[in-house]
Structures are given as C-alpha cells and as structure tokens.
Chains A and B, each alone.
Chain A
Amino acid sequence: MLQQKKDIVEALQKQILLLQGVKPSGEGGVQDIGLPQICNAFPNGIFPSGAIHEFLGCNMEDAAASGGFITALMATLMRTGTNCIWISTKRTLYPASLNAFGISPDRLLFIDLKSEKDVLWATEEALKCSSIAVVVSELDEISFAQSRRLQLVVEKSRVTGFLIRRNAEKLSNTICVARWKITPLPSREIDDLPGLGFPNWHVALLKVRNGLPGSWNVSYLNGAFCEEIPQAEKQFIEEKRREAI
C-alpha cells in the first residue's frame, strides 16, 4: 500500500517537472559535466542543459571566478561541436585566458552592445538559434517577466543560457533553474610548492528549482573539475536528504 502511494507520488512529481520545463533524462542531450555531486542537487540528478542559469558576479573577483567556472562548464557543453555567444555591455573578459579552461577562444563570438535593453533583446534572439550551445550574457537587471520570456524561448530551442548578474542590489526573483554564486578560494597547492596553485572556487547553489541548494569546493586541475564537499555542508545535506525521504 505504502509502495503504491510512493509510486503515484513519484509519477505525479515527474509530471510536474515536465510541466515546469524540466525534460527527463535522455532528452536534450544531457552531458556529463564532470560535477557528479553538484548534479545531485538538481532534479533527476542531471545538470539541466537547455535552461537558464543565473550566476552572481557582483565584484570583479567573483566575476573572474564565475568566468573561469562558466568557461570550464561551456567547454563540456560545447564538446559536441557547437558554438558559444557572449553578450555584454562592459566586457572585461580577456579571451586569451580562456584557453586554460579548455575552450579555443576563437570559437567564441562576442557581442558588445551599448544598452541593457539591447543585451536582453540580443540574448533572446541568440537563444532562439538551436545551433548554439551556450549563450552567456552579462546583465545588471532582469525582471521576472523578462526571465520567463527567455525560459520559454529556451524550452523550444534547448539552448543553455547563462546570465551573469553584475549588480547584487537589483537582484530580483527570476524563473532561472539555478542561482549560482562562485567565489574564489585559496588556490590548491601542489605538493607544497610555492606560488599560486590551481584555481579553487567555492561554488554555492543558492536556489535550485525542485532541487536542493548547497555548496561545494571545486577546483579545476588538468582540464577537469575536482569537487569536494566542505565537512559542515556534508552533514547538513545528509540531514536534508533524510528529511526529504
């Protein structure tokens, strides 16, 4: 009897997810992004490609960390051989550095616009092109309605959109599947050698639609992510999981 009820609830949950635009696994070319633990935070345990993600990059340091993390993510999403478009108004991203994160910078197309309004318009247009893998756009402000517009476009074209929010004060509710915050951590040392080590980030999922928020320490070495959960965080997640079950 209990088993039966559980099955019904599961089936209903899946239906709700479908209605909310989350496609079940196997559809939309879900790739292994090399972050198994973070993926567990998402519904079905799959990184939602073909959706809108939001990154908080309010100061330059965070923007740099987000830039690195996003580039490495893009490299995995672009493995199938498609292109990426980067839309912004005041771009400081330095293309020559992206090679270190697994992307040949000449595969990126930068669109430098003057006004925020144009950025929104261009983002929507770019998201309509199903031959593009990822559209990254740097924005100060986006309203709920505007984000829903992007989400509707994406549901049709299955393009992944990353919004980098430059202004934390104008943060509003959006329809994005996830809100990430990437902050730099002391770099990962290699055998106690002096100098800077591999990039190391604190990756926090502040909001996940239908999933469990959490935070992880992720470093990037030898062209791949390497994740570990902070000790305190681990216990908390375990408790949450138990509650959920």
Chain B
Amino acid sequence: MQKRYMSIWFSHLLTDWICLKRPQLKDKPVIFSIKLGNKIVVSAASRQAEELGINVGMPLADARAILPELEVLDDKLGRTARLLKALGTWCIRYSPIVGIDLPDGLMLEITGCTHLWGGEKSYLKEVVNRLRGAGYQVRAAISDTVATSWAVARFGKVSPIIAPGKHIDALLPLPSPALRLSELNLQKLSKLGLYRIGSFINMPASVLRRRFGEEIIERIRKAIGDMPDPITPIILPDPFSERLPSMEPINTRLGIEIAVEKLMNILCKRLQSEGKGLRQATLSCYRVDGKIIRVQIGTNQPSSNATHLLKLFGLKIGDIAPKMGIELFILDAQKVEDTQARQEAFWLQADNGGNREIAELIDRICGKVGENTIHRYLPQQHYWPERAIMAVTSLTLKPEIPWRSDKPRPVQLLGKPEEIEVTAPIPDYPPMVFRYRDKIHQVKKADGPERIEREWWLDAGEHRDYYSVEDELGKRYWLFRSGHYAGDKPSKWYLHGFFA
C-alpha cells in the first residue's frame, strides 16, 4: 500500500499559544526573544509583528527600533518541543503515528486512516479546522513522502492534497528552500540562479554532489521517495511503569527482593493516590548479557497493597535466573482498574476485611499453582447429577435458584460411575445383592427408584433409575440401572456415589 503522510505547519506556534493563554495580547504585535551567544534575537513573531517588518532572527534592538510599543516575551529553550509534543499527543486521535517535526510542525503517517473521516479531503479539512478553531494558524498538506508534504504545507500554492504518484510534479514549481537545505547551500543555489526545485532536481547526482555536498542528494532522494525518511513517533508512556537501574549487577535473591520492593512501593503509592488497583504487572529484568527476563503476576481484584503484591512476586523470584547479574529492573502495571469501596460481600455475612484477605489468598494460590484451581459451585437447573452444579469463577455471584434438598444426594460422587454386578428382582425393585470391587454387599434397606431422564437436547443415551441402598454394615450407596430392562440381555448397573 502506498504510504501517505500529512504535514501540519504551525506558522506562528509560540505567539498563537501565548495569545490563547493571555487573550489581552491578541491582535497586538508580540515577539519572543532569546539570548544567542551575546546578542538577543527574535525567536518568534506574531503575524501582526511580521506585517510590520519584524522577522525571526532579527536582533531585538532592531525590532524595538521599528516598533517601540512591541510586546516582548522571554523564550525558553525546549518550549516549542513541549508544545508540539502536546499537540502531537492530541493528534493521535487522527493517526497512531505522529512525529514531531521541529521547529514548527507535526508529521503524521495517515496510511489507512483517512477513510474514517470520509476521504483525504475531509480528513485534512477536519484536522485544519479543529486546530484553527483552537486558535492556531496552520497549513497542512498530504502527499506520498514526508519531504513533499513538508514542502507543500509551507510553500504550496495550488492544492494541499497531492494525489498518489504526483509528488515529483508537485515539487517542481516550488522554491528551493522547500527542500529544507542548509543556509549555505541555499545561498549557493540562488547565486547560480536555481530558484526552483525543478531547475536542479533532474541534474546528475555527481554534478550536484561536487558543488553542494551529500546533503542535497539526500534531500532529493527523500523527497522523491527513493530513500526512507522515517518519522520518530510520539509514544504515549505507559502510565504505570517504574524503573530502577542498579549501580552494580545484582545476582542475589535478596538483591532482587529489595529492588522489587522499592519499585512496588513507588508504584503502589501512585496507584493509591489515583484510586487505582493493579490487576496485572510484569517485572522485566535486564541482564548484563543482554537478555531480558520477565515475570508476571495477576490478581483477582484490583489491589494496591504493596505487601500482598510483593508476596505474589516473592513466589516468582525463583524463576529469575540472574546469571551474570541484573542491571535494570522495570516494573510495568499493564492492567489497572479502579478500586471501588467494596459494597458487595463475597458471601452473605462476610465482613470487608475478610473479603480482601480471601482474595489475596486466592491470588497467592493462583500465582503459585496456576489458574483453574479455585472452584465455587452454584446450583443449575438440571436433574442430571453431573450437571446440577455449575462451576463459577466469580466469588460474589449468588445462586439464582435455591439449592435442592428434597431428593437425597450422595456426599461422595464418583466422576465416572463404576459398573457393578447386581441381583435384582424385576421390573423395578431395588437390588438384593451387589458386588462392588469383588466385595459382596447384602442390601438391607433401599429407597427408589428415582428416575432421572437424560436431557436429550444435551446428549443422547439411556435414562438412569437411581436407588439409595444400605448394606448389612450400614454403608450407604447410590446405585443406578441404565435404561429399561431388556428381555434378552442383562441390564447394566452402576455405583455412582456414597451417602454419608
């Protein structure tokens, strides 16, 4: 897919920004000054000031001479970059890849983004209108290469959108400064009468290199797309991430524990102040030999309890092989949730402290042994004994239907019913004698049958006729016959459970 780039040019970034901050300066000539060496120069000028002949780079004294009532503000190093970064972060809504283009612009890679706004035209209009509405004077352009977008945004006169493949044609009429050349080369070019890009772009590379150096070749190749021109995208920082470099490589368990504790305390303090709780965290250990070891913990409930989280990591520290030593620890909280005041009790009467304690216990067990070890059961509307209970992971879920106690159910239920040999009078009397694991049991008392039909919409098979029986020693069993009696072959009997 052909890549598309959009360049946004803030023609008067600093002065627009100060006018937004201090509305009384609006419509007044405003400049920023900065000390360069031992002279003070104008570093930014508003449109009004520029109209009066004050340009960027002019000494402040000259500017004062032109306009005595000029509003002069102090510029700070790095302010432009900070402003652009904030604007770039805002622009991430339009494209995931936004780069800062110092000193006065942003560069967006918009490949595959524009259709969401209904095409490039409306996309560009949306971005420009939003920024202009906020009070910034902007121009934007879209083309196939970064350099062309940059040039068209600043020097273009025709259309801000250059159709795919037409970027070289669009560059030809533009003045030579549109290629972002150094001041020295620009002077040489104008001395030679090469005012337009079109007048030298097709010259042989060797000729250009001899006179202007490698820079011009590089610029041209980037502009026509022969050379990659990467954008350094703004990455939104992971909000909950802490790092701890160590002076000397750490290779003892105690050392790792201290490091994790330090990181965890900082992180938990932050989490607590923002009312968040940790659900998932990763500790990355950067080893001296260049390997990165990661251990992960998870919690069942958002937690910002440092001692508890440390305990969870304590179970995993054994997995970290420090080898030559670890020089950097990074603790990332990938999943963070809001902690609410617990309003719901786990179980009916359990108090709040108990809930937290049990949740922490579960975390420890899950952390050490693995998921899917903790079970809780709720009743389900099925008669089939295996399906009468439903395993749930939630600790707070309440049963929707009451537990049944009208029919006897065994305390111990075999996962798979075991086949037994039975002597039973037909048609539906309980057995008289049965043999289970080579032991004969004489049935003294019995209840039944309780017929449980198989749920045909869930699975196929015979129904079961259950009998509760007690043998001569008082041991109680849950037996069943599978299906109806058939005349020709003996029916199958199974032992399914043991009553208390």
Contacts and interface: CB of A to CB of B under 8 A. Distances in A.
Given A81-B350, A83-B346, A108 B376 contact: yes
Interface stretch (A4-12, A26-34, A66-74, A168-176): A66-74
Given A186-B444, A195-B447, A196-B468, A94 B412 contact: yes
Interface in B458-485: 468-470, 473-476
B413 interface: yes
Interface in B341-357: 346-351, 353-355, 357
Contacts of A68: 411, 499-500
A63 B412 CA distance: 8
Contact of B403 (A64, A105, A118, A130): A105
Contact of B405 (A100, A195, A199): A100
Contacts of A111: 365, 373-375
A116 B243 CA distance: 39
Interface stretch (A121-129, A142-150, A206-214, A237-245): A121-129
B64 interface: no
Interface residues of A, number: 56
B385 A94 contact: yes
Contacts of A225: none
A103 to B, nearest CB: 9
A67 B411 contact: yes
A115 to B, nearest CB: 9
Contact of A110 (B374, B399, B447): B374
Contact of A125 (B354, B361, B398, B410): B361
A96 B403 contact: yes
B403 A99 contact: yes
Interface string A167-189: 00000000000000000111100
A107 interface: yes
A165 B247 CA distance: 52
B357 A131 contact: yes
Contact of A109 (B376, B379, B403): B376
Contact of B470 (A83, A92, A98, A186): A186
B497 interface: yes
A131 B360 CA distance: 12
A130 to B, nearest CB: 7
A232 interface: no
Contacts of B498: 60-61, 63-64
Contacts of B389: 94-96, 105
A40 interface: no
A233 interface: no
A195 B375 contact: no
Nearest to B345: A81
Chain B CB count within 10 A is highest, among A68, A100, A197, for A100
Contacts of A118: 368-369
B121 to A, nearest CB: 60
Interface residues of B, number: 57
B91 interface: no
A99 B404 contact: yes
Given A81-B348, A99-B403, A125-B364, A60 B412 contact: yes
A81 B358 contact: no
A185 to B, nearest CB: 4
Nearest to A202: B474
Given A64-B411, A64-B412, A130-B357, A125 B365 contact: yes
B500 A184 contact: yes
Contacts, number: 176
A109 B354 CA distance: 14
Nearest to B362: A109
Contacts of A96: 377, 379, 385, 388-389, 403-404, 409
B470 A122 contact: no
B132 interface: no
Contacts of B415: 92
A18 interface: no
Contacts of B377: 95-96, 105-106, 108, 110
A94 B353 contact: no
B408 interface: yes
A221 interface: no
A41 B409 CA distance: 32
Contacts of B403: 96, 99, 104-106
A126 B363 CA distance: 12
A194 B445 contact: yes
Interface string A64-91: 1101110100000000111100000000
A106 B378 contact: yes
Given A106-B399, A113-B369, A121-B368, A99 B348 contact: no
A160 interface: no
A65 B500 contact: yes
Chain B CB count within 10 A is highest, among A61, A67, A83, A106, for A106
B355 to A, nearest CB: 8
B398 A187 contact: no
B414 interface: yes
Nearest to B346: A83
B411 A83 contact: no
Given A81-B350, A92-B414, A94-B410, A61 B369 contact: no
22 contacts: A82-B350, A82-B354, A94-B497, A96-B403, A96-B404, A99-B403, A105-B377, A106-B376, A106-B379, A109-B358, A109-B362, A110-B375, A110-B377, A121-B368, A125-B364, A126-B361, A184-B474, A186-B470, A194-B445, A195-B445, A195-B468, A200-B474
Interface of B: 346-351, 353-355, 357-358, 361-362, 364-365, 368-369, 373-379, 385, 388-389, 395, 397-399, 403-405, 408-415, 444-447, 468-470, 473-476, 497-500
Interface of A: 60-61, 63-65, 67-69, 71, 80-83, 92-101, 104-114, 118, 121-122, 125-126, 128-132, 184-187, 194-197, 199-201, 220
Given A63-B498, A71-B411, A131-B357, 20 more contacts: A61-B476, A71-B500, A83-B354, A92-B412, A94-B413, A95-B377, A96-B388, A106-B378, A110-B374, A113-B373, A121-B368, A125-B365, A129-B354, A131-B354, A184-B473, A184-B474, A187-B474, A196-B499, A199-B499, A200-B474
